[in-house]
């Protein structure tokens, strides 16, 4: 057998899948060129040394036939992941879910997006093959909330760079959520043009099933996913704090890392995110209003008992010429600063290009500091230890 089996009559799509598999996946690809689905799984599973792990039902196969075949795989070979190629449509997603399809793939997806989705489907299938009794709530993903009382401190820059860095640690298992529902910039920061947004993800079938929710995520070629903010600020009004909590919990069941970029302040959405946070990154810059705002935000979080997990304090856009020192900031907020990120042209340039600085091989001091911040959430933290706070100084 081959690890991947593609069923399609579309030669152009076949070429893109071939590039995706040969460009970074292990295992052979076998192509069954047909415009109709085989009668059953046996027609696709030929004897061989390499077991089939994923079947991709490509464009050109009638949806009803593809769903019938997927249902047969779900019953006869549940360990094999089936991915259906089709336009993102909530009705199709529900039908696919009922048939046991593990994910939906856009027919126009490029090789990088195809590779990311196939890896994700394989990882999910591997998880399902484990003993269910060995799975515990502690194995759910980590929800990392990036927050600040004021705007303009670089929350989105830090959130996108953390997501890109963790995407290398957990490819296809890292998702970035833009919770600035009115004026979020995650799509711009990652140079994405999302077809769906947070507003779509909290309504209808997506709120009931993770399979449908996944169809509203945008794929970024750094092996991460993004749930972007609505393009119309008015849509934020129909997203409740309860909706936010439910979406974050759904994503945490599917992804190892859920990074949340919040709006400034402690509005309903930010409070809902902090309530579900396993960790948080609290940000200020080197000016008195920002530092005082952070102190007040920390006080409110403490009084409300939110975010009981680890907190990382980050000073962004650091500059010695502000008249403040890191010690001054620590004395004001009454806790140590973990990471100091210097002001950098590279970071600003990357933001304007829609390419996070950690997506490239930058050696700037800002990039080094951002890697240290992201490293705090890796399985083996980078730069950890009791003495780390003492080394947090302005550049």
CATH number at residue 328: 3.40.50.300
CATH number at residue 101: 3.40.50.2300
Q: Are 270 and 155 in contact (CB under 8 A)?
A: no
Domain boundary among 133, 150, 179: 133
Is 282 in the same domain as 173? yes
Neighbouring-strand partners of residue 57: 7, 84
Structure confidence at residue 254 (pLDDT): 84
Is 179 in the same domain as 125? no
Is 123 in the same domain as 146? no
Is 123 in the same domain as 172? no
Is 68 in the same domain as 173? no
Residue 272, C-beta contacts closer than 8 angstroms, at least 6 positions apart? 241, 242, 244, 245, 248
pLDDT at 130 over 60: no
Lowest model confidence (mean pLDDT) among 207-211, 340-344, 345-349, 371-375:
207-211
Q: What digits encode the pLDDT tens for the residues 283-300?
A: 999 999 999 999 999 999
Domain count, the chain: 2
Q: What digits encode the pLDDT tens for the residues 339-368?
A: 999 999 999 898 889 999 999 888 899 999
Residue 160, C-beta contacts closer than 8 angstroms, at least 6 positions apart? 176, 186, 189, 190, 261, 356
Residue 220's pLDDT band (cuts 50, 70, 90): confident
Domain boundary among 133, 168, 185: 133
Domain extent, residue 248, equals: 138-391
Is 186 in the same domain as 328? yes
Chain centroid to CA 309: 20
The mean of the pLDDT values for the chain is 86
Q: What digits encode the pLDDT tens for the residues 49-99?
A: 578 999 999 998 999 999 999 999 988 888 898 999 987 666 777 688 778
Structure confidence at residue 298 (pLDDT): 95
Which one is predicted more confidently, 91 or 159?
159
Domain boundary among 133, 168, 200: 133
Q: What digits encode the pLDDT tens for the residues 230-268?
A: 999 998 998 999 999 999 999 998 888 999 999 999 999
Is 324 in the same domain as 370? yes
Is 127 in the same domain as 159? no
Q: Which of 15, 53, 55, 21 is nearest to 38 (CA)?
A: 55
pTM for the whole thing? 0.71
Terminal alpha carbon distance of the chain: 57
């Amino acid at each position: 057998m081959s690890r991947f089996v593609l069923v399609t009559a579309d030669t152009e799509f076949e070429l893109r899948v071939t590039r995706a598999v040969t460009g970074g996946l292990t295992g052979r690809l076998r192509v069954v060129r047909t415009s109709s689905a085989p009668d059953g799984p046996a027609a696709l599973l030929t004897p061989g040394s390499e077991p089939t792990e994923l079947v991709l039902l490509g464009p050109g196969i009638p949806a009803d036939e593809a769903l019938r075949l997927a249902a047969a795989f779900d019953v006869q070979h549940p360990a094999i992941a089936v991915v259906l190629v089709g336009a993102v449509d909530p009705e199709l997603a529900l039908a696919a879910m009922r048939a046991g399809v593990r994910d939906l793939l856009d027919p126009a997806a490029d090789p990088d997006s195809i590779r990311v989705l196939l890896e994700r489907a394989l990882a999910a299938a591997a998880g399902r093959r484990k003993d269910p009794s060995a799975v515990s709530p502690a194995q759910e993903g980590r929800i990392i909330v990036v927050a600040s009382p004021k705007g303009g401190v670089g929350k989105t820059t830090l959130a996108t760079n953390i997501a890109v860095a963790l995407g290398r640690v957990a490819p296809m298992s890292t998702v970035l959520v833009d919770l600035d529902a009115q004026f979020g910039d995650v799509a711009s920061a990652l140079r994405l043009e999302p077809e769906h947004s947070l507003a779509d993800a909290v309504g209808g079938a997506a709120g009931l099933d993770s399979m449908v929710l996944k169809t509203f995520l945008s794929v970024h070629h750094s092996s991460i996913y993004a749930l972007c903010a609505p393009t119309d600020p008015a849509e934020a009004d129909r997203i409740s704090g309860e909706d936010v909590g439910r979406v974050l919990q759904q994503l945490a069941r599917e992804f190892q890392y859920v990074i949340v970029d919040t709006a400034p302040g402690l509005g309903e959405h930010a409070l809902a995110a902090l309530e579900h946070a396993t960790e948080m990154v609290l940000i200020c810059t080197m000016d008195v209003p920002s530092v005082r705002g952070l102190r007040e935000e920390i006080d409110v979080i403490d009084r409300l008992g939110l975010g009981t997990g680890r907190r990382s304090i980050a000073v962004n856009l650091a500059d010695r010429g502000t008249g403040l020192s890191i010690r001054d900031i620590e004395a004001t907020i009454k806790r140590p600063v973990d990471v100091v990120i210097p002001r950098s042209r590279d970071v600003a340039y990357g933001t304007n290009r829609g390419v996070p600085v950690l997506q490239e091989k930058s050696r700037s001091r800002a990039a080094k500091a951002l890697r240290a911040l992201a490293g705090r959430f890796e399985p083996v933290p980078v730069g950890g230890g009791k003495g780390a706070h003492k080394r947090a100084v302005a550049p």
